[in-house]
Structures are given as structure tokens and as C-alpha cells.
Structure 1
Amino acid sequence: MGVSTLRVNLSEADIRALIKGDTDEDRALACYRLCRRIDTVTLTDEERAYAEQILQIVVTGAAERVRRALAVTLKASPNLPPEIAAKLARDIESIAVPLLESSPVLNDEDLVEILESVEPARQYAIARRETLSETVTTALCNFAVDGAIIEALHNGGAEFNDVGMTRALDRFPTARALQEAMVERPILPVLVSEKLAARLTGELFDRLVEKHAMPPQMAIDLATNTRERAGIDLIAQAGLQADMKRYVQQLHLNGRLTPSFVLRALCQGEVRLVEYAFAELAGIPHNKAWLLVHDGGTMGLRAIFERANMPPSLYPAFRAAIEVLHETEFDGTADDRIRFRKRMIERVLTRFQSIPDEDLNYLLEKLDYVREEAEEKRVAVG
């Protein structure tokens, strides 16, 4: 980069001030102006090489104030040479932290190496980066303090795997905030869900169950368990499952795919679960079960109902629920599911009075819940 290229924002005197300025303030200002020019102008290879020579001088021998001006100005710039970024990331904390938080030219290898031997402030800085690969988060889980790991868990741009999360849980087995941060992740590896389920109690356990799919057999075991904390709703868990066919098969193998269970699922609006349940019980493919369940007339549902060996006394309740499903118009709003469940349960309760007491109590409880949920949404909007 020649002086002529920099004439708009940086004179030859500025370059001299950067290298041999009388005060740190003069040199810091000259450094800032050079860095701004580097960050905003498309450079030729020759200009870039010249700029890098100047920056190398700054990094090697300039005062702290000058180095900080460089780090802050180019902390998010893709034009900062990677080797200079790596040096600044190992500088004193006030200079390193901005780079560790923001620099796109620091690679995973740099970040992992730094994590292995730095103080918590730099670990927190890395945890706050816009994106974090599984390689980096695993290093965080292996070497960082629990607070930095929690910071990364709350970072929506951070990717985690079961290896890293499991390591963090093993290192900090009693850190409630760490467990809570994992539960709040949008996606949780199955192995981590299992590990957390074995440790959590109370409200946090409930949130884990409500938000993340348990492995089918584990969900069934927890629901069967008489421990107070294992109040797991297998119907709610069904809505979280990616492989519904396998989930339904496990329910069947464990004797949980009962007529009452299928009716409850239908009233809760878990229609996909009901379709797979009929397919499993009737021994037919899901696509055929779908056609029979959603037959516009009465013959299809009755045919699969009988083939699945469902009790005839429950047929009117299933018929009423399917009618509600087909009559309901969805407008694409967040209230669709709430309105659908409320109407479904009310119709079944109104038209079918001989529901077993256990199912009746379950449906009444769910009706109260959806009413409360609808009221909360109404108050929030109002």
C-alpha cells in the first residue's frame, strides 16, 4: 500500500506518527486511521502486504494503547491478517477479548488452543461469539469454567454435541444453572436427555419432559414409574418424537397402546399419533390407515376401528372427534391448536357420556389446561 493510496485518510506523516509518534495517543490515532482504511477499502495484493507489514510492527512493538486501537477497530473485520489476529488473541485481556468475541479470522484451532490455557474472561469472550462449532463448544465443555459453558449454552449460534454436554455434566454434576441452560436448548441430544432425566427433579424435570423428546422406552418407563417426579404424559411426548412409527410400536410392545390412550390422544389433537396407532393395531401401512381414518363417510373409520379390535362402545366418541377435526378451519395463527383441542374435548364430552371415569378426569383436566392457556394468550395480547 503506497502513501498515494492512503492519501484521503492517512498521510505520510500519519505513518511516521504510527511508527515514531511522540505520544501513545498520537500513535493510537494513526493506528485507528490506518485500520479504518484497511477495513473499508478493497486492497490489492501489494497494498495488503504493505498494510500487514505496518500492522506487524504495531503488534510486535507498539504500546498497549496502540495495540488496543488495532484490536477494537479490526475486531470484526475479515481483512485482519489471521496471524496478527492470533497474536492479539494472546495479548493482554483488554486487547484479546474484543478479538475473541468477534474476529471471523480466528479459526477453530486457534480458539481451542486458547481455551486450553486461558483465564475465564477469555473463555466467556469465546462463548459469546456469533457462531461456535461443535469442536469449540466441546473444548469449552472440557476446559472452561461452568459460567462460560452456560454462556455458550444460551448462545443461539452455538452448536453442541452429546460428547461435550456429557463432559460438562460430569465436570459440574451439581451446577443447577448448567442443567437449566441445557434444558432450555432448542435441541438436546438423546444421551444428554437421558443423563438429565436421571438427575433432575421438580419443575426443571417437567420442563425437560415437556420440551425434549425422551427415547420411547425411557418415556414409557418414566410414565410407569410411581415416583412423583415422573408425571410424564406419553401423549405430549408423542408430539416431540421424530419417528412416530417407532414410538407407537414401543407403546404397543409395552401394553400402553390402549383404546383409552388412543382416544385421549385424538382429543388432544395428536392426530398423527392416532393414525399410526390404528395402523399398528390393525396391522396395515400408515398410508392406508390415514385413508380409512379420514374417510369422508362413516365406513372407513368404522372398518379400521373394528380391524384394530377397538371396543364398539368408544366408536361414537372417535366419530365425534374426527368430525370436529374435519369441521375445524385453521387460520394459521398460534391459537389454532388451542381452539382445536378445546373444541375437540368439549364435543366428545358433550356427545359421549359413557367415557370411563379415568378418561373423563383426564379430558376434563386437559380442558381446564387449554382454557387457561387460551386465557393467558388473550391477556398477553390485550
Structure 2
Amino acid sequence: MGIATMRPHLSEGDIERLMRGETSEERAGIAHRLCRRIAADPLTDAERLHAEEIIKILAEDAADLVRRTLSVTLKNSPRLPRDVALRLAQDIEAVALPVLEFSPAFTDDDLIELVLAVTPPKQAAIAGRETVNPELTSLIAEHGAAEAVSVLSRNRGASWTNAAYEHSLRRFADNEDIKEGLISREQIPVHIAEKLVSLVSGQTFDLLVNKHELPAQVAIDLAAGARERATIDLVEQADRTHDMEQFVHQLDLNGRLTYSLIMRALCVGHMKFVEHALAVLSGVPHNRVWMMVHDAGPRGLAAVFDRAGLPRKLLPAFKAAVTVFHETELDGGANDKARFRSRMIERVLTQFQAIPKDDLDYLLEKLDIYSEQADAQEEAAEEPGRYISNG
């Protein structure tokens, strides 16, 4: 029975039952049925007005159970009037939280005013909405309780601003949950990643350096051993940077762009880094270096190698590694980068024996890491078949 057919049967007695029924459970049952119809049935203008009358009656019910039934049933409905949504938002948390998190009835200004006036759990409900605009995100970060900022940090629909990040780190520098939430975001500004370096440790630190690009100087300091807990090196950081040219220039300015670093990067297949390194050291534009390395044959490679000032004794290994790079391809499977790098290292080690001990140790260590990654992925891929065969 829809609203249209229900209207004649909604007598004063029915309204009286809604307002003063013998039990809250009875009124809640009536409320649930009515709200489901209001949310789902097509309504004329007259029926919509009558539905709003019913909603307001339910919102004023003395029983928490009835008001919560209204809130839960109409939390996603555009038919919940704004004034009723605002009334429910000021109710007890059991009633308010569903509409605060889901209701489309609120305006942006409503949500801003509510954040400044409600309890931490209510702030957290607002922070968990499907979308949170930049202004509201900044407001919660600046004025919200830790509970709300934590929810906001993990909300993929929240639009974070630089100000929001700054407020969060200023207010909650000691809150591990919030810091982990920020680090778990898909992207964070580089300067925020830099600040987080000094605020986190252990697995959270590992997640930061493995998930996000760090400023070149920070990466250099970490790789140089300025912090014992560092778990990255410059070769791995080079693979993550979005501005390779700037990263390489920073390395050069700090005296860290060594032939050993370039060889290590080449041997694990970080060719883009090698090209930019040769360009910086030789003074030759990157596009010309690319041609000399890949298209100009052995003489072109030797020419840019010499111009970059790299030791002649390493040229045979350099040539061998470039050749291996050209002959080795990504296989397109899961974790193919790890397998590619393993094959690169294996072939370089096979073709060139006179590798300095430190570089040899480094490559052997990387070989173990990449091999383990590739093996673990292959075992995971085989597991479903193995399970079936055992069944």
C-alpha cells in the first residue's frame, strides 16, 4: 500500500498511535513501515507534504528507538527534510550518526557549522561522508577531535589541502593512528612526506619510504645512513621519484652521484636514472644521451661514458649491462619487475667478473631480495591450483 492509498486510512487515531503508542517497539514498527514507503514510493506534491508531516511526528517521538528508526531508514533519502535532518543531527549519537554520515539533506554550510558544535563521534561521522570538500577537510583537521581526524585521514573521498595536512601534523604529531592514516593515502605532498620522516618509526616509517616519493635530500640522508632505521637506498628511491632530473642534480650537488651508484642502478635495470646521471656528469642533454646509450652503438656509449668521467675499467661491465637490459624484457606477469631485475643481475654477474667487492655484495643482496619477491608471487599464483588438486 503506497502513500496515496495509505492517506485515507491514516486517521487521527493512527497519528495518536505514532505519538503516544503503548510501547516504543510498536511505534518503531509503524515508523519503519512508513519510512520505507516514503523513501521508495513515487509521490505527488500532496503526498510529499503528507510524508513530511509523518516524518516530523516521528522526529519528535519521545522514544529514542523511534527516532533512530527514522534516522536509519531515511539516512540516504533525499526525502528527509533539511530541518528534520538538522534536528536529528542534534539528537543523541545513536540517532544522529546515521544522518550525519549519509544524509544528502545537509548543505556545505550546515556541515561546517555542525563540525564546530557537535561531539567527537558526530565529527567523526561527518569526516566519514562519501565526499568531504577541501574547506570541510581543513576545518576538521584544524578543529576536529582526534577521532574525527583519524577517520578523515583514511577517507578516500576527502579532499585534503596543504593546510589540512599542516593542521593535522601540528595538532597530532604524537598520534600514530592519524600518521598511519595520512601515510596510507594514495598521494601526499612531498613536503608533508618530508615532515613525516621525523615523526614515524618502525613499520610506519617503512610504509612511508616505500609508498611515497621523498625529497631528494631526504632520500640522500637516509641512504647515507644519517638515520639507522632507514630501509631504503638511493637506487630504490630513484625508481620512485617523479622528477628524475632534479633528483640526479641533487645527488650531484651533494657528491653522491658516484660511478658505483650509477653501475648499481644500471645492473638492476633503472635505466632512466642512468641516462640522467650520464647527462648531468657529461653536460650532454638527456635526449642526446639516450641516443648515445641506446642507438649509437658501442662507440656512442663509450663516448658519453668517457665524457661523464667514469673509470675506463668499468666500461666493459657498463656495455654488458646495457646489452643485457636490451635483451631482457618484462614478462607482463605479476611482480614482473622483480623477475626482470633478478635476470638483469644474474646476467651481469655472469658476463662480468671484475666487479668491485662492495658493488658485488650489493648486487648479490639485491638478487636475493628480488628473487624472493618473484618466488613469493609465483607461489601465491600457484596456490589456487594447488588447493584444487588437493581437493
TM-score by length of 1: 0.87
Does residue 135 (structure 1) correspond to residue 135 (structure 2)? The answer is: yes
Q: Which moved more, 1:260-269 or 1:297-306?
A: 297-306
Using the alignment, how far apart are the partners of 1:269 and 1:184 within structure 2?
Answer: 28
SS of 1:117 mapped into structure 2: coil
Q: Where does structure 1 lack aligned partners over 5 or more consecutive residues?
A: none
- The within-5 A match list for 1:363-374 is 363-374=363-374
Using the alignment, how far apart are the partners of 2:2 and 2:227 within structure 1?
Answer: 75
Using the alignment, how far apart are the partners of 1:78 and 1:239 within structure 2?
Answer: 48
The aligned residue for residue 13 of structure 1 is 9
SS of 1:7 mapped into structure 2: helix
The aligned residue for residue 388 of structure 2 is none
The aligned residue for residue 121 of structure 1 is 121
Q: Give aligned pairs, total.
A: 378
Q: Is the 8 A contact 2:334 2:377 kept in 1?
A: no
The RMSD of aligned alpha carbons is 2.7
Does residue 90 (structure 1) correspond to residue 90 (structure 2)? The answer is: yes
The aligned residue for residue 145 of structure 1 is 145
Using the alignment, how far apart are the partners of 1:356 and 1:29 within structure 2?
Answer: 80
- The within-5 A match list for 1:170-185 is 170-185=170-185
- The within-5 A match list for 1:1-382 is 6-7=3-4, 10-14=6-10, 16=12, 19-21=15-17, 23=21, 24-45=24-45, 47-60=47-60, 63-230=63-230, 232-295=232-295, 297-381=297-381, 382=383
Deviations 1:23-76 (A, max 9, x none): 145544443334323322444555444433443444356653332222111111
TM superposition outliers: structure 1 runs of 4+ over 6 Å: none
Q: Is the 8 A contact 1:18 1:28 kept in 2?
A: no
Deviation of the 1:195 alpha carbon: 1.8
Q: In structure 2, give the amino acid aligned to 1:84.
A: V
CA distance 1:311–1:46, change in 2 (3 Å) = farther
Using the alignment, how far apart are the partners of 2:13 and 2:268 within structure 1?
Answer: 73
Using the alignment, how far apart are the partners of 1:195 and 1:162 within structure 2?
Answer: 12
Q: Is the 8 A contact 1:278 1:304 kept in 2?
A: yes
Q: Is the 8 A contact 1:14 1:30 kept in 2?
A: no
Using the alignment, how far apart are the partners of 1:16 and 1:275 within structure 2?
Answer: 83
Using the alignment, how far apart are the partners of 1:15 and 1:358 within structure 2?
Answer: 90
Residue identity (%): 47
Q: Which moved more, 1:47-56 or 1:267-276?
A: 47-56
Deviation of the 1:85 alpha carbon: 1.9
CA distance 1:322–1:86, change in 2 (3 Å) = farther
CA distance 1:26–1:242, change in 2 (3 Å) = same
Deviation of the 1:267 alpha carbon: 2.0
Q: Where does structure 2 lack aligned partners over 5 or more consecutive residues?
A: 384-391
Q: In structure 2, give the amino acid aligned to 1:371.
A: S
Using the alignment, how far apart are the partners of 2:12 and 2:65 within structure 1?
Answer: 17
SS of 2:3 mapped into structure 1: coil
